[in-house]
Amino acid sequence: MKPTSTRKLVYSALCLALALLLPFLTGQIQQFGSMLAPMHLPVLLCGFLCGGPWGAAVGFIAPLLRSMLFHMPPLFPTATAMAFELAGYGFLSGMLYKALGHRGAKSLYTSLVVAMLGGRAIWGCVMFLLSKIATGVQFSIAAFWAGAFANAWPGIIVQLILVPLIVAALEKSKLIPHD
C-alpha cells in the first residue's frame, strides 16, 4: 500500500468510528438525533479527506453497522435508506472537491452543498422505492420535504458551519492528501 492509501484507510476508519459514536452525543432522543444528523458529519469529512470512493464506502457501511451493533437506526427502512444517502454524501463530496481542484472556500462549499442536496435526493428516491415495495404505502413529497429539510435544518446548519472549518483546518495543516 502506498502511504496515501494507508493514510486514507486510517482516516476512513476514524470517520467510520466517529459515525458510529457521534449519535451517542445526541442522547437517546430519536427526534434530536434526526434533527442534528450526527452520522452525516464524519461521512462528509471522509469524502473531503479521502475521496469519493472511500467516502461512499464509509457512508454505506456506517448506518448499517450502527443498526446491527446498537439497533439504531432501525435497519429497515431507516438504516437501509441512510446507507444510500450517506454513500451519496461521501461520494459526491469527495469527487466534486477533487474535480474542482481543492480551490478554497468556493469549491469547498459548492462540493458540500451539492453533496448534501444529492444525498437527500438519493434518500428520497430510496425511501420512495422501499415504501412502495415493502409496504405499498406511497412516500409523499411532504414526507420527503419533512425528512430531508424541514426537520433537518439544525443539522444542515451544523454541517454548513463545521465541515468547511474542519476541512480548512486540515488543509492548512497539510493533512488532506491532494492526489
Q: What is the pLDDT of residues 96-120, one digit of tens each?
A: 999 998 778 899 999 999 999 999 9
Whether the pLDDT of residue 179 is over 60: the answer is no
Does the structure show a pLDDT above 80 at 1? no
Taking phi over 0 as left and psi of -120 to 50 as alpha, with beta for the rest, 21 belongs to alpha
The ranges assigned to domains in the chain are 3-19+38-172
Mean pLDDT of the chain: 89
Which DSSP symbol is given to 146?
A: I
Helix (H, G, I), strand (E, B) or coil at 95: helix
DSSP letter at 71 equals: -
pLDDT for residue 143: 81
Rg (CA), the chain: 16
Structure confidence at residue 135 (pLDDT): 75
CATH architecture for the domain at 3-19+38-172: Orthogonal Bundle (1.10)
Backbone angles phi, psi at 136, to 5 degrees: 75, 0
**What's the pLDDT score for residue 146?**
80
Q: How many CB atoms lie within 10 A of CB 111?
A: 26
